[in-house]
Structure 1
Amino acid sequence: MTALRNRLQQWFAAASRKQKIQAVLLLVGVLASFGLVISGGAAPQQPADEPSTLYFAGVVVKLIGVLLLIVGCGVIVMRWARNPRRLSRGGQMMVVETIRLSPKQALHLVRVGGQQFLVGATDQNISLISQVELADPADDEQPIPIGQDFNRLLQGFLQVRSSGKE
């Protein structure tokens, strides 16, 4: 029992915030499901000494429904928590797009006022790569489609940098 408690403490110390939230949601879901099974759910329509197979099938269907509801709520909460655009309503600063290069490295296209910047981020460092000028001002009002315009923008940036070194 002590070994299990020590392993849980080590995991908790090393786990990320997202992993801790997911573990708590899973624990709440399992405890709620266990509570439903223990309590017997709704009262059966038949006398207690003659439970039918339809009654048990109904309990299983309700249990699956509750589990799906818990998982669905967890997914919605996790998506809401990681959406950077929900934090920038009415503000001057917004992350337009993020592309992950590895689990610990990312490129962010950040809009501050009317300007846009390409920022590189790792666990240890955040650095400004370049100010980005979009060719069409209408692009500022529309989100950049993932995998299309940002890749073209990055290729153009790399070509400009390589032509400047020659």
Structure 2
Amino acid sequence: MPRVSLLGLALPFWAVAAESAEKAATPLADSTTGGQLAQLLFGLLLVIGVIFLLAWLVRRVQQIVPRGGQVIKIVATQALGPRDRLVLVQVGGEQILLGLTPGNIRALHVMAEPVHFPDAEPASAEFAQRLMELLGKDQKDKS
């Protein structure tokens, strides 16, 4: 008997919920597919516009922040394996050799004297000119 009375009480609530669902669905049925498509397209364009606006703002903020004041510089890296590497980092006037693994960063050695790389000089104008000549020849051959 208790089941029947609970079922009897549940039916009116179920009927009310079904009626409200029908009323909520009625305005959607009246609108056209073209109107729904236009609304969807407008929403999509709005979201894309917000994404581009945020990207522009991030670039503007990054330009405002001074980049020349970096104190930590990576001087050199050497891969030891697929996930392990050595990194030579310069902090102020001091160089530190770091060992990097997926779960750990460890200072291996602090250099007494900074390591200088003669090969780290910028490319000469000769090299740039030669590179442009080669690129120019390649583009002419493709045409």
TM-score above 0.5, yes or no:
no
TM tier, smaller: 0.3 to 0.5
TM-score of the two chains, using structure 1 as the length reference: 0.29
TM-score, scaled relative to structure 2: 0.33
Larger radius of gyration: 2
